Amino acid sequence: IAAVSIVIFVRYRKLKLSAILIFVSLSEVLIILGFAGLIKWNLNLPSIAGIIAAIGTGIDSQIVILDESRMEGESMKEQIKKALFIIGTAFATTFVALIPLTGVLEFMNVTAAGAGLLKGFAVTTIIGLLVGVLITRPAFAEIVKRMGK
| Average pLDDT of adjacent 10-residue blocks, the chain of 149 residues | 85 87 92 90 87 90 89 84 91 88 63 65 90 93 83
- pTM for this one? 0.82
Distance (Å, whole) CA 76 – CA 82: 10
Q: What pLDDT, on the 0 to 100 scale, is given for residue 112? A: 54
Q: What pLDDT, on the 0 to 100 scale, is given for residue 118? A: 79
Q: What pLDDT, on the 0 to 100 scale, is given for residue 136? A: 93
Burial of 138 (0-12, 13-18, 19+ CB in 10 A): middle
Q: What pLDDT, on the 0 to 100 scale, is given for residue 114? A: 53
Which contacts of 59-68 are long-range, i.e. CB under 8 A and separated by 24 or more positions?
Answer: 59/4, 59/8, 59/21, 59/25, 60/90, 61/87, 61/90, 61/132, 61/137, 62/21, 62/24, 62/25, 62/137, 62/140, 63/11, 63/21, 65/137, 65/140, 65/141, 65/144, 66/12, 66/17, 66/21, 66/144
Tell me the CB-side half-sphere exposure of residue 32, using CA atoms within 13 A: 32
Q: What pLDDT, on the 0 to 100 scale, is given for residue 46? A: 87
Q: What pLDDT, on the 0 to 100 scale, is given for residue 142? A: 92
Q: What pLDDT, on the 0 to 100 scale, is given for residue 72? A: 80
Cα pseudo-dihedral 132, 138, 139, 145, rounded to 10? 140
Positive or negative torsion for Cα 22, 28, 34, 40: negative
Q: What pLDDT, on the 0 to 100 scale, is given for residue 139? A: 93
Residue 14, φ and ψ in degrees, nearest 5: -130, 120
